[in-house]
Amino acid sequence: MNEARLIITTDDALQYLRFIRNKKQEYLLCLSLDSGDRLIARRTVTIGTLTSSIAHPREVFAGPLKDRAAAVIIAHNHPSSAAEPSRHDIRTTNQLVAAAQLLGIGLQDHVIVTNDSYFSFRDNGLL
């Protein structure tokens, strides 16, 4: 793996998330990372509706378990252009944190992207 695939900061992760900024439906993505914070894989977990997508831990962690990932970054878009997390987003993130702990996989961040902004749970002290 080359150095360009190293994901340390939110800006590093955004390189792999920008393509969902303008989508009209919610896309839920998972970035699998190795123990050196290098990208193993980027997967679209689900494609939802205008206002929601399904984020069941079983679906989110299926790929990273196959990858033998050490950590993941979860991301989804908000077609509404409001980057702030909803109560549902916060609840889902907490559920994914609990599942990640059980599986021994680090949940490094949950990033919400919009057409012109983003929200990082880690950068805002929510992870």
Q: In the prediction, which pLDDT does 55 show?
A: 82
Residues contacting 61, CB < 8 A, separation 6+: 30, 72, 99, 100, 103, 105
Q: In the prediction, which pLDDT does 54 show?
A: 74
What span, in angstroms and rounded, lies between the C-alpha atoms of 53 and 46? 7
Across the chain, which has 127 residues, the per-10-residue mean pLDDT values are 76 96 94 97 89 82 97 96 93 96 98 96 96
CATH of residue 60: 3.40.140.10
Containing structural domain, residue 108: 29-76+87-127
What span, in angstroms and rounded, lies between the C-alpha atoms of 59 and 62? 5
Whole-structure pTM value: 0.91
What span, in angstroms and rounded, lies between the C-alpha atoms of 125 and 127? 6
Number of domains in the chain: 1
Three-state DSSP at 98 gives helix
Token pair of 80, please? Answer: 């509404």
